């Protein structure tokens, strides 16, 4: 009973959703704290600058400032007071036109009277600015309080706050990326399995929902591999078992009198025999233990020799060979089977138009290309023609082809040699099959 009554707390503690919730909650809280502290500090500084009581400033401080500047005005003293108190001071008389801040755009000629503060002072308005005018001893003193600006300390607070905010964002991104890293590995593993490597398994490194998903995908790959292996073994066993009755049927056929029925039976039995041979060959090449029997051959010369048997094709066979041949190791019987399948397809669908067999050599590859001028293959079917038993013409008549194993077998032969097969086609313009084989 103890094995069944497991506490759900460990599973909840390791839950992916819980960790994501905690990460985003911590991010929001830290953001609010950093922004709140930064704004509070800035607000305190602004309040410190702005909260000097205006009545006191107007009624008392203005007199002290004018007394400190003196009559006649001490301009150096006025400049120092303007700098220390963040003021703009303008002094006018018939002989003086002085302003403490040359960069200020305050225009006292456009001022408007607001109210009288005392016998010698008035409040004026210059746009949105408040200006105090004091007339004393033949001089006019204009005082304007500058708008408070951010100090170096304020900028430091802002930059530190932004720095903490970016650090929190980066930490959040790193944590989420690390948390979701199994998703990337799952995607890569799924693509590898989808490409046909059913032996690949995604490493399980987590105990949360993503770990469970990884185990499920690995289990699915195990099931697929087992089913396909069972199907392959069954198909191979049936193919081998069919060899004996086909051989007996061929033997019995030889004792029949010549007739149209005999020829029909011969064609049917040969087609079955060819299908069985292709199935067995395909299964041999699709296993990990597929082995080739390599021979040293001059590749272009060998392809030219194999192509001679197709010279009676009504549409004409065109050979394009390089000036210099190169020696390479290939399995001659399987390359012969590859060429026969592709050329027969080209002739079958070529509608008595020329078929071109070309060989060329690149840096480290030999390229065998077979081009027909038939009806071509649509994009819908082109991506499936290398699959076993896939036919563009679903009727599967003898006139239009066999059982859909030809190009599948050719692709296996190319891959067994360490090469690849590419197919390009356009409806109404024909099909080109190119086989790339490494030169060793």
Residue 10: the pLDDT is 45
> Residue 177: pLDDT above 90?
no
Please list, residue by residue across 160-169, b when 16 or more beta carbons sit within 10 angstroms of its beta carbon and e when fewer do: ebeebeeebe
> Residue 252: pLDDT above 60?
yes
Q: Please state, in angstroms and rounded to a whole number, the distance separating the CA atoms of residues 163 and 150.
A: 18
Q: What's the mean pLDDT in 372-378?
A: 87
Q: Please state, in angstroms and rounded to a whole number, the distance separating the CA atoms of residues 300 and 298.
A: 6
Q: Which of 253, 351, 323, 332 is nearest to 292 (CA)?
A: 332
Q: Please state, in angstroms and rounded to a whole number, the distance separating the CA atoms of residues 210 and 126.
A: 68
Given CA atoms 186, 192, 198, 200 in this order, what sign does their dihedral have? Answer: negative
> Residue 127: pLDDT above 80?
no
Which segment, 65-79, 98-112, 168-182, is predicted with the most confidence on average?
A: 65-79
Q: List the beta bridge partners of residue 370.
A: 357, 433
- The three-state (H, E, C) secondary structure of 151-162, written as one string: CHHHHHHHHHHH
Q: What's the mean pLDDT in 72-81?
A: 87
| Domain 189-290 architecture | Orthogonal Bundle (1.10)
| Unique residue bearing structure tokens 């199935």 | 279
> Residue 40: pLDDT above 80?
no
- CB-based contact 110:126 (threshold 8 Å): yes
121 backbone dihedrals φ, ψ, rounded to 5° = -130, 145
| Measured CA angle at 127 (ends 123, 131), to 5 deg | 25
Given CA atoms 381, 384, 386, 392 in this order, what sign does their dihedral have? Answer: negative
Cβ neighbours of residue 343 closer than 8 Å, sequence gap 6 or more = 307, 310, 317, 355, 357, 370
Cβ neighbours of residue 433 closer than 8 Å, sequence gap 6 or more = 342, 345, 346, 369, 370, 407, 410, 421, 422, 423
Residue 7: pLDDT band (50, 70, 90) is: very low
Q: Which of 92, 181, 187 is nearest to 139 (CA)?
A: 92
- CB-based contact 425:431 (threshold 8 Å): yes
> Residue 41: pLDDT above 90?
no
> Residue 16: pLDDT above 90?
no
Element (H, E) at 304: helix 299-307
CB count within 10 Å of CB 69 equals 25
| Unique residue bearing structure tokens 């991010």 | 27
CATH topology of domain 55-148: Beta-Lactamase (3.30.450)
> Residue 240: pLDDT above 80?
no
Give the DSSP letter of residue 296.
E
Which segment, 40-44, 51-55, 349-353, 369-373, is predicted with the most confidence on average?
A: 369-373
Residue 302: the pLDDT is 92
Percentage of the chain modeled with pLDDT above 90: 12
Domain spans, the chain: 1-51+152-179, 55-148, 189-290, 295-438
Percentage of the chain modeled with pLDDT above 70: 76
Q: Please state, in angstroms and rounded to a whole number, the distance separating the CA atoms of residues 253 and 263.
A: 9
Indicate the SS3 state at residue 419.
coil
pTM for the model stands at: 0.47
Q: Please state, in angstroms and rounded to a whole number, the distance separating the CA atoms of residues 136 and 143.
A: 14
pLDDT, tens only, 284-304? 666 554 567 888 999 999 999
pLDDT, tens only, 396-432? 444 555 556 778 888 888 988 889 999 998 888 889 9
Catalogue the E-assigned strands of 362-419: 365-371
- CB-based contact 306:343 (threshold 8 Å): no
CATH topology of domain 295-438: Heat Shock Protein 90 (3.30.565)
Higher pLDDT, 380 or 17: 380
> Residue 342: pLDDT above 70?
yes
Alpha helices for 95-208 (secondary structure H): 152-179, 181-194
Cα dihedral 59/65/66/71 (nearest 10): 160
Task: Say how many Å lie between the first and final Cα of the chain, rounded.
Answer: 65
Q: What's the mean pLDDT in 161-168?
A: 75
Q: What's the mean pLDDT in 118-122?
A: 83
Please determine whether the domains at 55-148 and 295-438 fall in the same fold group of CATH: no
Higher pLDDT, 286 or 121: 121
Q: What's the mean pLDDT in 388-398?
A: 59
Give the DSSP letter of residue 127.
T
> Residue 77: pLDDT above 70?
yes
Residue 285: the pLDDT is 67
Residue 45: pLDDT band (50, 70, 90) is: low
Q: Please state, in angstroms and rounded to a whole number, the distance separating the CA atoms of residues 194 and 217.
A: 12
Q: What average pLDDT does the chain have?
A: 77
């Amino acid at each position: 009973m103890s094995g069944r009554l497991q506490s759900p707390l460990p599973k909840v503690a390791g839950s992916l959703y819980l960790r994501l919730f905690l990460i985003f909650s911590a991010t929001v809280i830290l953001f609010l704290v950093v922004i709140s502290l930064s704004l509070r500090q800035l607000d305190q500084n602004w309040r410190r600058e702005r909260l000097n009581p205006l009545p006191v400033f107007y009624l008392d401080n203005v007199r002290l400032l004018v007394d400190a500047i003196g009559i006649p005005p001490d301009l150096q003293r006025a400049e120092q007071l303007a700098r220390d108190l963040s003021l703009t001071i303008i002094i006018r008389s018939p002989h003086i036109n002085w302003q403490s801040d040359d960069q200020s755009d305050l225009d006292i000629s456009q001022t408007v009277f607001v109210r009288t503060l005392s016998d010698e002072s008035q409040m004026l308005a210059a746009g949105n600015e408040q200006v105090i005018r004091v007339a004393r001893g033949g001089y006019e003193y204009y005082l304007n309080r500058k708008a408070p600006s951010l100090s170096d300390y304020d900028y430091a607070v802002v930059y530190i706050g932004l720095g903490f905010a970016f650090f929190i964002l980066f930490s959040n991104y790193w944590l989420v990326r690390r948390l979701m890293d199994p998703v990337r590995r799952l995607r890569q593993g799924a693509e590898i399995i989808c490409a046909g490597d059913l032996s690949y398994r995604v490493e399980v490194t987590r105990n949360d929902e993503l770990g469970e998903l990884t185990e499920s995908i690995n289990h699915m790959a195990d099931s697929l591999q087992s089913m396909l292996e069972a199907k392959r073994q069954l198909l191979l066993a049936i193919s081998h078992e069919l060899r004996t009755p086909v051989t007996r049927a061929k033997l019995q056929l030889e004792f029949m009198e010549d007739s149209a029925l005999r020829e029909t039976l011969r064609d049917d039995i040969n087609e079955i025999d060819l299908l069985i041979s292709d199935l067995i060959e395909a299964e041999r090449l699709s296993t990990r233990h597929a082995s080739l029997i390599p021979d040293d051959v001059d590749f272009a010369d060998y392809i030219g020799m194999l192509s001679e048997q197709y010279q009676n094709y009504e549409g004409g066979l065109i050979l394009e060979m390089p000036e210099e041949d190169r020696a390479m190791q290939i399995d001659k019987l399987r390359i012969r089977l590859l060429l026969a399948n592709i050329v027969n397809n080209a002739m079958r669908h070529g509608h008595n138009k020329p078929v071109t067999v070309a060989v060329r050599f690149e840096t480290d590859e030999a390229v065998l290309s077979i081009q027909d001028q038939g009806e071509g293959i649509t994009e819908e079917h082109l991506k499936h023609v290398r699959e076993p038993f896939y036919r563009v013409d679903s009727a599967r008549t003898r006139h239009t082809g066999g059982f859909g194993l030809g190009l599948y077998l050719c692709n296996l032969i190319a891959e067994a040699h360490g090469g690849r097969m590419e197919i390009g086609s356009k409806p109404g313009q024909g099909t080109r099959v190119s086989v790339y084989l490494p030169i060793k």
